[in-house]
Amino acid sequence: MSVASEPILPAIIVGSGLAGLTVSDILINQYNLKNVTIVDKNPKVGGNSIKASSGISAADTKQQHDLKIEDDSADIFYNDILKSTGQSPNVDQLLINKLSVDSKHAVGYLTEIHGLKLDKISKLGGHSARRTHKSSNGIPPGYEMISTLEKSILKKIEEDDNNDKNVNFKMNTKLINFTVHKDTSIKEVTFMDISSGKTFKLKTNNLVLATGGFSANKNLIGKIMMMIVSFLRN
């Protein structure tokens, strides 16, 4: 299929878990970007994120300070993550630094912009401080975060008086491939409509891959879980 006459989309976000919906929400509601396309191979948004039941881990948050949890910091969080990698040679220290330093902003975004409480904080295995946040209202944290972000994005679609499809959800659509031109940043992205099996291409200058560590792949999760179960049995 030729893509010569296709419009160049301002942004395509692949993955509608916490990462994908957060990027989409920021682009749509904070930067007012038009024509953002959110793609997911699953029929519903949420990925693995919607299953999260313990909460979101972050250091040096307002919620921790409110609860007088003063024995945590981004540095301590960083060291906990590094320790949990078992000194693997593949460790990306920049990524760990980003995660630990920015974690309080992630919680801040959900609480200050979206009104989540995230006021119940636990100390989980591998963490040396109480830093895993969920809301005290009893709503499972993954569901609360995903449904809040989804609503925020859908509200923008409803508010769109001109109905010019500011945001386009393409569910049941799998990313197959993408190419980055040497002479330009334009990416041609190939997708498959899972219902029909047909492939199609879109063009964009900004492709965000938010497909998650396990790509919400039940087989892979099952395989890892079986390894853990078998490890525990042994």
Ligand X SMILES: Cc1cc2nc3c(=O)[nH]c(=O)nc-3n(C[C@H](O)[C@H](O)[C@H](O)COP(=O)(O)OP(=O)(O)OC[C@H]3O[C@@H](n4cnc5c(N)ncnc54)[C@H](O)[C@@H]3O)c2cc1C
Q: Which residues bind ligand X (CB under 6 A)?
A: 14-20, 39-42, 47-49, 51-57, 174-175, 210-212, 215-216, 221
Element containing residue 66 per DSSP (H, E) = helix 62-66
The helix/strand/coil state of 186 is: coil
In the complex, minimum distance from the CB of residue 120 to ligand X, in angstroms, rounded to a whole number? 12
Q: Which residue is at the shortest CB distance from ligand X?
A: 17
In the complex, minimum distance from the CB of residue 45 to ligand X, in angstroms, rounded to a whole number? 7
When the beta carbons of 29 and 211 are compared against ligand X, the nearer one is 211
When the beta carbons of 29 and 175 are compared against ligand X, the nearer one is 175
Q: Please name which of 157, 149, 196 lies closest in space to residue 174, comparing C-alpha atoms.
A: 196
DSSP assignment of 67-111, as one string? TT--S--HHHHHHHHHHHTTT-TT--HHHHHHHHHHHHHHHHIII
When the beta carbons of 5 and 210 are compared against ligand X, the nearer one is 210
**What sign for the dihedral angle of Cα 40, 44, 46, 50?**
negative
In the complex, minimum distance from the CB of residue 20 to ligand X, in angstroms, rounded to a whole number? 6
In the complex, minimum distance from the CB of residue 189 to ligand X, in angstroms, rounded to a whole number? 10
Describe the chain by its helix, strand, coil percentages, rounded to 5. Answer: 40, 20, 45
Hunting for tokens 């078992």 — which residue is that? 86
When the beta carbons of 9 and 56 are compared against ligand X, the nearer one is 56
When the beta carbons of 29 and 99 are compared against ligand X, the nearer one is 99
When the beta carbons of 29 and 127 are compared against ligand X, the nearer one is 127
Q: What is the maximum alpha-carbon separation in the chain?
A: 61
In the complex, minimum distance from the CB of residue 18 to ligand X, in angstroms, rounded to a whole number? 4
In the complex, minimum distance from the CB of residue 183 to ligand X, in angstroms, rounded to a whole number? 26
Hunting for tokens 């989804």 — which residue is that? 150
**What is the distance between the alpha carbons of residues 93 and 91, in angstroms, rounded to a whole number?**
6
